[in-house]
């Protein structure tokens, strides 16, 4: 059931500066959302973050925020291994959930949370923000139109530099690894632009330690016969590399920064119609994502990154790890 009172009062689980870009700053320009509270494992940390960001309430435990009756929704920004636990806790008290990607630690946990979400009557949305940008929507439109003809290949890359090996993203117990972080985006891209969930054929990892990948390459194949490749890294020879290419029998699409299309909002199209460059908004992907979350909560509008979508995504990530000879991640 949509909420009609508005605005959506949301609390943040995790006093991370990442929330400034992903939620707090976009909310300042969105009259349908108010960031009302933040929680950390330490009240001093939570209060300091609240003071810095102008958030009215701070809590020294996640349970306290979850129990706040004045909140409509929770933004889950804790380590990935805890995503499922706190999404479930929020649903248990009737709150909507915006859960940072990746949705859960693995595909089995995603299935469990998807079942709970389906029975909850609440909005549960994975925060995979590029899916809401107009450039992404346009790519899907062009592919669906048949302008490229039958698809032949999809190639996506996201390599960034996060050399802090002590961080959560390199911690197996927190469900870390390149395939969980940057890889969550590129797997979404393969599925979104390839027209379905592919089969993983092979995968090769570069390791931070015996269980944690700092970079990953994988080859996939779709039921219709076309192929795909993903490359992702948190630390590799590519200091930074981001691109996407979709090739069909009659043309191709190319664009840069597919996980953040607002940074390079240009799409190159080559087809029988000629060569053209299409231009898009520089408004942040996180702002479009927050628009969609608010619209779903307040008016019942559909979201693109549903729990069911997340199940498909996490299942592919699990298969990438298995193909690379690495263990899948587990909830904490």
Q: What are 89-107's pLDDT values in tens digits?
A: 999 999 999 999 999 999 9
DSSP H helical segments within the chain, as ranges?
18-19, 25-28, 43-53, 62-67, 83-92, 107-120, 134-145, 182-194, 285-299, 307-323
- Range list of β-strands (E), 131-238: 151-159, 199-209, 212-221, 227-233
Of all residues in the chain, what percent carry a pLDDT higher than 70? 98
User: Any residues with CB less than 8 A from the CB of 59 and at least 6 apart, and which?
Assistant: 37, 38, 39, 40, 43, 46, 65, 68
The answer to whether residue 58 scores a pLDDT higher than 90 is: yes
Give 108-153 pLDDT, tens digit per residue.
999 999 999 999 999 999 999 999 999 999 999 999 999 999 999 9
Strand bridging mode 73-76 / 96-100: parallel
pLDDT at 293: 98
Q: Measured between alpha carbons, how far is residue 151 from residues 203, 231, 257 in Å?
A: 22, 20, 21
In the block, which residue shows the tokens 């929770």?
74
Does the pTM exceed 0.85? yes
Q: Is 70 exceeded by the pLDDT of residue 4?
A: no
Whole-angstrom distance, CA of residue 329 vs CA of residue 112: 15
163: confidence class by pLDDT, cuts 50, 70, 90: confident
Domains and CATH numbers, the chain: 8-128+287-303 (3.40.50.720), 131-283+314-323 (3.30.360.10)
């Amino acid at each position: 059931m949509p909420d009609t009172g508005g605005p959506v009062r949301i609390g943040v689980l995790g006093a991370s500066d990442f929330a400034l870009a992903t939620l707090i700053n976009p909310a300042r320009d969105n009259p349908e959302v108010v960031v009302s509270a933040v929680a950390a494992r330490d009240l001093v940390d939570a209060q300091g973050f609240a003071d810095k960001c102008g958030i009215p309430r701070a809590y020294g435990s996640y349970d306290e925020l979850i129990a706040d009756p004045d909140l409509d929704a929770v933004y889950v920004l804790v380590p990935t291994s805890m995503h499922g636990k706190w999404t479930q806790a929020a649903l248990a008290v009737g709150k909507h959930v915006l859960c940072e990607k990746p949705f859960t630690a693995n595909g089995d946990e995603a299935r469990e949370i998807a079942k709970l979400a389906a029975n909850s009557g609440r909005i549960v949305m994975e925060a995979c923000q590029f899916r809401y940008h107009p450039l992404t929507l346009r790519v899907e439109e062009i592919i669906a139109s048949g302008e490229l003809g039958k698809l032949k290949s999809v190639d996506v890359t996201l390599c960034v530099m996060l050399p802090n090996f002590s961080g959560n993203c390199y911690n197996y117990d927190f469900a870390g690894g390149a395939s969980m972080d940057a890889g969550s985006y590129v797997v979404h891209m393969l599925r979104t632009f390839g027209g379905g969930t592919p089969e993983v054929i092979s995968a090769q990892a570069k390791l931070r330690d015996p269980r944690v990948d700092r970079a990953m390459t994988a080859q996939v194949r779709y039921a219709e016969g076309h192929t795909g490749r993903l490359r992702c890294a948190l630390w590799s020879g590519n200091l930074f590399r981001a691109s996407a290419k979709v090739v069909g029998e009659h043309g191709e699409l190319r664009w840069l920064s597919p996980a953040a299309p607002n940074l390079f909002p240009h799409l190159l199209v080559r087809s029988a119609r000629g060569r053209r460059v299409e231009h898009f908004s520089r408004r942040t992907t996180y702002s479009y994502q927050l628009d969609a979350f608010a619209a779903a909560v307040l008016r019942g509008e559909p979201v693109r990154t549903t729990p069911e979508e997340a199940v498909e995504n996490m299942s592919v990530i699990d298969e990438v790890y298995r193909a690379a000879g690495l263990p899948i991640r587990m909830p904490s």
